[in-house]
Every structure is written in structure tokens, then in C-alpha cells.
Chain A
Amino acid sequence: MADAVGLLVALVVFGWAAAALDAGLGRVSGRAGGVGSAVGAPLREVARLVTQRGRRTLVPDLLLVRAGVVALPLAALLAAVVLPLGGAPVLDTSVGIVWFNAMEVCVWGALWLVGWGVNSVYPLVGGYRFLAQGLGYELPHMFALITVALGAGSLRFGDVVAAQRGVWFAVWMPVAFAVYLISALAMAFWGPMGQPVGRDVAGGVPAELSGADRLLFAAGRYALLVVVSAAAVPLFLGGGAGPLLPGWAWAALKTAAVLGVLVLVKQRVPAVRMDRFTVFAWVVLIPLTLVQTLVVGIVVLR
């Protein structure tokens, strides 16, 4: 129980930090142009959305919209429960990696439901964009996860961390790590992979959401960003291993580092068109990850 509360608090704190950093960086480069400190920016947004008057489109399918809006943070939370953040995970299952993958795919459903249900053209375009993005990133992503599982000989996150006592997986599976980072952007539809919520489609999927719905959607997206960053730590960065500090502190530091990189990438890298990314993913990334899996397989067998 204490673990679960700790996880929830960590998700909120890191999500807040990511939103604040994003707002701060946006102001430095002169794009967001907000007033006041960046740390307060997420709070102001929350206050604005909580007090905002609800807005509704013509004949929306509210059941589907609400299902999607709730499913987004829920999927992030359910993906987080299998991650060991220094200690044991809240839910220590022998198939943690597959569970993480399954919950992350539920986000496809969440975005499509919201995009479809509000009965408006730009959200619909955004929802379909995310499905196309999913087809692009998912296969290389899965092969990256399979490579990790192969290297550890287990689908349990704890065993994956234990297998990295000597060398981090990021060091001897660099291709899988790089592919994971790309798919982390895609999973959280963040930065260059943010086309489902792109400015060219007026904000995409959440364009018609307002008030509490929009708040839940935004919170779910930041939670997802934190979770995909946190998952990189047990998968590739040795989990909570490190000198002097306790395990949870190292896990938090490494998560913050990955999260910081992802936020920085959002500010620095332009948007990627999904049809081009899919060609790149299938023609370049899938063969690369297959070769990586082969190399790891040979090393493990020897």
C-alpha cells in the first residue's frame, strides 16, 4: 500500500517537473511566452482547467470520450505498477515486460476513442494519426523489448535489473536503447512524435476537450511520459544500481535524466511525418533491431 502511494506521488511530482521544464524551456526559446515562473505554470494550467466552463460539440459519443479520457491516465498507472524503482515493484509479475507493453498499447485505444467520440474533424485526424504512428513504432519497439528479455533470460523486470549488475544493457545493446528512446517519444506522442496532437491539426485529439476532461487527458499524457522514461531505467540503465545513494534515489535520478532528455528533444527537434517515420521504422529500424537481437542471442547462447 505504501509502495502504491509512493508510486502515485512520484508520478505526480515527475509529471509536474516535466510540465514545468517544458514550460520553462518554451519560454526561453520564446515560443510559449507565458508569465511568471515555470514551476507555477502547471499549477496555473490545472487551475484554469478546473474552473473552465465545459464546452461540448454537436452530438458527441460521450461514453466513448469519457472511456478514452479515463483510460489514458489509467494505462499509464497500470504500466507503472510493474516497474521496480529501486526496490520491488508494486506488482511483481513474471511477465512484467509484456504487461508494460500491453498497457502502453491501451493508449492507442484511449486516443482513438477520444478522437472519434467528440465528433469533430481534427481530433479524428489526430486519433487516426496515432494508430498509424502505433503501426510504425510498435514493431521496432517490441523487438527492443524482446532483446532486453533475451539478454536477461526473463520477462520479469527484477531479473532484467539483476542481469545488469556487470554492464548496463544501454552499453551492450545500444541499438535497442536508441530504438526504445524513439518509441518512448512515440508512446507518449511527445515532441517530434507529437503529430496526433500536432499544431497543424489545431491540437489534434484533445482539441475539443475542455475542463476536467482536458485536465485528465493532459495529466495522463505527462504520466505516460514519466512512465516511459522510468521504464528505461530498469530496462537499460541498471535500475537502482549506483554508488553511495540508495536504490530509489538512483532510480529517481536516472528517470529524471531520461525525462529531461525527452523534454529537451521536444524543444529542439521538429515534428516527424508519420508516413516517413513508418518507412524509416520498417526499412531501417526493424532490420537493425533484428540484428541487435541476433547479436544478443549469440552472446547469451555462448
Chain B
Amino acid sequence: MSVGAFWALAVLAVAGGVAVFVVDSMARATFALLASLLAVGGTLLLVDLHYVGVLVILMMVMEMLVMAVFMIMYMMNPGGLMPMKMVHGDRAAKIIAAAVFVLLAAGAFLTPWPARRGPPPADPTRALGLAIMGPRMLVMMVVGVAILATMVATVVLATHRGRYDR
């Protein structure tokens, strides 16, 4: 059951990624990428990382919608409903993409994955957080707030008062 779901999601993720470069409109490309990322969120749900999985879905939807605004704002054909080519410099891009794929796939196959010891934890999300952060949890949380503060400050400093300001 979950193996079948994994393969379905994996195929959907890859197909969505391919569709990004095949379709002829920026809007379709955006939502093809979103479908691909949602499938990735789905695979996280399959390994019982419920919080991380649903959070990925939430963040990806919000992020891609904001991205859509910028992608369409900067494209050559802002009307967007006219067909457009989604790839540029494709020979170099193909070589780089293939090389990166081989590298990552080789890493996945060559890594000596540890065998499972004991049963899965009651709350895998908590266990994952502790495994990654460990004793540095507090530091990472402070860093997170600092990054947020930096982003807010950057936006405030970058904003000129526009024509809609009162």
C-alpha cells in the first residue's frame, strides 16, 4: 500500500518537474512545479513525518503563489497566455542537470545506510528534530528568529514610500 503510494508520488514528483520545462506558459510551469513539490510533501507523510509533510504542503502552496507573481512579473511576455519557450541555453543546462542527478543518485545508492535499531519512535517529527539539532536546538531557534528579523529589517529598509502611501 505505502510502497504503491510512494511510487505514485515519486512518478508525480518527477513528471511535475519535467512538465515545468515542457509546458509553454509560466502559469502552467508554476503549478506543475507546485504539483511536484506537493508530491514530495506527500512522501514525507508516508514516513509518518506528519508535521513536516503538512508543513511542506502549506509552505509550498504559499511560496509558489507568491513566486507566481514574481515569475510572471519578470517574464518576457507578461500576458503569459501566448505560448512561450521555457528553456534557455538548454545544452549546458542538460549537462549540468544530468551531472547533478548522477551525483545525487550515486550518493543515495553508495551511502552505507544504517539498519533500523528498535521500533520507530512515537513521534518521528520530534525524533528527527532532536537527531538534526541535538543540543543545539536553542541556538537554532534563536538563529531562526534572527533570520526573520533580518528579513523584516531588509524589507523595511528597501521600501521607498510609493504612490499608494498616504
Contacts and interface: CB of A to CB of B under 8 A. Distances in A.
Interface residues of B, number: 21
Interface in A63-81: 63-64, 67
Contacts of A112: 65, 68
Contact of A117 (B27, B54, B65): B27
B62 A108 contact: yes
Contact of B65 (A59, A95, A101, A134): A134
A99 B54 contact: yes
B143 interface: no
Given A61-B27, A131-B69, A275-B164, A102 B51 contact: no
B145 to A, nearest CB: 12
Contacts of B28: 61, 63-64
B61 interface: yes
Contacts of B57: 102
B66 A94 contact: no
A116 B51 contact: no
B31 A95 contact: no
B160 to A, nearest CB: 15
Given A94-B50, A102-B61, A275-B164, A135 B68 contact: no
B52 to A, nearest CB: 9
Q: How large is the interface on A (under 10, 10 to 19, 20 to 34, 35 or more residues)?
A: 20 to 34
A88 interface: no
A295 interface: no
B62 A64 contact: no
Contacts, number: 59
A59 B51 contact: no
A190 B34 CA distance: 27
A60 B81 CA distance: 8
B58 interface: yes
Contacts of B66: 131, 135
Interface in B38-86: 50-51, 54-55, 57-58, 61-62, 64-66, 68-69, 80-81
A59 B81 contact: yes
Contacts of A59: 81
Contacts of B61: 102, 105-106, 108-109
Given A109-B31, A275-B164, A61 B81 contact: yes
A119 interface: yes
A155 interface: yes
A98 B27 contact: no
A276 to B, nearest CB: 8
B25 interface: yes
Interface string A3-33: 0000000000000000000000000000000
B36 to A, nearest CB: 14
Nearest to B166: A276
Interface string B70-107: 00000000001100000000000000000000000000
9 contacts: A93-B50, A95-B54, A105-B58, A108-B61, A109-B65, A112-B68, A117-B27, A135-B66, A138-B62
Interface of A: 59-61, 63-64, 67, 93-95, 98-99, 101-102, 105-106, 108-109, 112-113, 116-117, 119, 128, 131, 134-135, 138, 155, 275
